[in-house]
Amino acid sequence: MKKSIILLLLFVFTLSSAFLPSQCKHSSGDRTYNVLDFGAAGDGDSDDTQAFKDAWEATCGSRAGSPATMHVPSGSTFFLQPIVFAGPCTSDVNIVINGTLIAPGPSQWKCKKNKCKQWITFDKLNNLHISGSGTINGEGKKWWGCKEGFVILHSNNVYIRDLAFMDSPQKHIGIDRSKWVYVTNLVITASENSPNTDGIHIQRSQHVFIDHTHIATGDDCISIGDGSAYLNISSITCGPGHGISVGSLGHNGAKETVEHVYVSDVELRGTSNGVRIKTWQGGRGHARDITFERITSYDSQRPIIIDQFYCNGHHNCKNHKSAVEVSNVRYNHIHGTSRGEIAVEFACSETVPCRDIYMNDINLVSGVSSCQNVRGTQHEVSPSVPCLT
Ligand SMILES: *[C@@H]1O[C@H](CO)[C@@H](O)[C@H](O)[C@H]1NC(C)=O
Ligand SMILES: *[C@@H]1O[C@H](CO)[C@@H](O)[C@H](O)[C@H]1NC(C)=O
């Protein structure tokens, strides 16, 4: 009796494994999911959104032991409506973009109640690698609207490398509520007069590393917003654009913080502002432990600036009692040329002065320094800053 049951079980088991799809026989080895195999046309005109969703579902749900790869092949252009690549996935995921992605224009933009602000969103992913020789074209030339290009949200261990980003209607890459994000070797371009087209915007994120990246847009090359900490930004060329900015912080009385930011080896080419910290009057919180070093300015306007009176140039600029506190900021080895009258500007608030501002080996020609309510030291600084000892 017992023997026959065992034999029966054995028989059923052998039978079932013989009929399993061949894919399941190997538990290791790369799985690659090419969007063309999911029905993408790649003609730059047909809507390929569904094919990308299907390819993503296969990739993200792949049970491969090693990372699964979604492949966007070169030689084709894929038209995508707003799309969310959501996790978590069953394995680590690579996305190789060797082709071109293009966004809808203003009249074509389709999403629920037209509410979505982002074109391509990556949400709740761990161990995501996005790379390739492709281009992500936001088609912003048609509208420069309030749509962000490429957003990393609620994710950890994300690598973005080698890609080209152009003409996002608004900021090109957003890193939001994420940790351990590595960005390297990107080229980000939009025209100099395009509004709000920041290259990379970081907020509520920690441990973000950006290096070897070229950014030329109409707004900040890199902007660092509330809740950012432990950032390392190095080997960046920036310009045209508004430079590398911490802030603006403390809008509408908000308490906002940025700390532990290290920026090094930056070439500023014809930027308006260079390395900047900007905070709103009436805000709270702090911007502290920030280092800018080995910065070269080629004809930038105001290469060094702290502005605690930021107010978009218009209303409500009056002096408030509270301010976002700026402290422990180091400027080291900053050289080059400056366009405009003021090369170094520290405009700090009376009630909450900027403190522990250290400057060493600064030489900017030509221009003057302007300062109020700053405390700190300077060593070999030209133009000399009268408020520092
Ligand atoms: C994508 O492009 C890169 C760089 O050109 C190349 O090394 C890689 O093999 C390509 N990937 C695929 C899957 O074709
Ligand atoms: C920042 O990154 C650069 C380039 O990867 C590296 O050489 C440097 O040691 C890092 N600095 C800090 C303070 O982490």
Alpha carbon of 59 to ligand 1 centroid (Å): 18
Q: Which residues line ligand 1 (CB under 6 A)?
A: 71, 96, 98, 132-133
CA distance 373 to 346: 8
pLDDT, mean of residues 101-116:
81
Cis check for the bond before 46: say yes or no (omega within 30 of 0): no
* pLDDT of res. 121: 97
185 Cβ closer than 6 Å to some ligand 2 atom: no
262 Cβ closer than 6 Å to some ligand 2 atom: yes
Q: In 3D, which of 334, 245, 346 has the Cα closest to residue 297?
A: 334
Which ligand 1 atom sits closest to the C-alpha of 98? 1
pLDDT tens digits, 300-352: 999 999 999 876 654 556 667 888 999 999 999 999 999 999 999 999 998 89
Residue 61: band (very low, low, confident or very high) from pLDDT cuts 50, 70, 90: very high
Is the pLDDT score of 17 beyond 90? no
Contact 114/150 with Cβ under 8 angstroms? no
Check if 251 is active-site: no
Could you tell me the CATH superfamily of domain 30-218?
Single-stranded right-handed beta-helix, Pectin lyase-like (2.160.20.10)
Residue 19 DSSP label: H
CA distance 76 to 213: 25
More confident residue, 147 or 226: 226
Contact 378/384 with Cβ under 8 angstroms? yes
Which ligand 2 atom sits closest to the C-alpha of 262? 13
Least confident of 277-281, 324-328, 361-365, 375-379: 277-281
Is the pLDDT score of 213 beyond 90? yes
Which two three-digit tokens encode residue 95? 């996305």
* pLDDT of res. 376: 98
- Where do the structural domains in the chain lie, given as residue ranges? 30-218, 220-389
Radius of gyration of the chain (CA): 25
Residue 387 DSSP label: T
- Give the whole-number percent of the chain exceeding pLDDT 70: 89
- Which residue puts its alpha carbon closest to atom 14 of ligand 1? 73
Instruction: Report how far apart, in Å, the C-alpha atoms of 121 and of each of 27, 83, 100, 290 are.
Output: 30, 6, 17, 29
Check if 219 is active-site: yes
Instruction: Name residue 206's amino acid.
Output: Q
Q: In 3D, which of 216, 258, 366, 379 has the Cα closest to residue 303?
A: 366
Q: In 3D, which of 218, 127, 220 has the Cα closest to residue 174?
A: 220
CATH fold, domain 220-389, is: Pectate Lyase C-like (2.160.20)
232 Cβ closer than 6 Å to some ligand 2 atom: yes
- Which residue puts its alpha carbon closest to atom 13 of ligand 2? 262
Cis check for the bond before 67: say yes or no (omega within 30 of 0): no
More confident residue, 2 or 194: 194
Answer yes or no: same fold for 30-218 and 220-389.
Answer: yes
Instruction: Report how far apart, in Å, the C-alpha atoms of 26 and of each of 20, 39, 49, 63, 302 are.
Output: 11, 26, 30, 10, 60
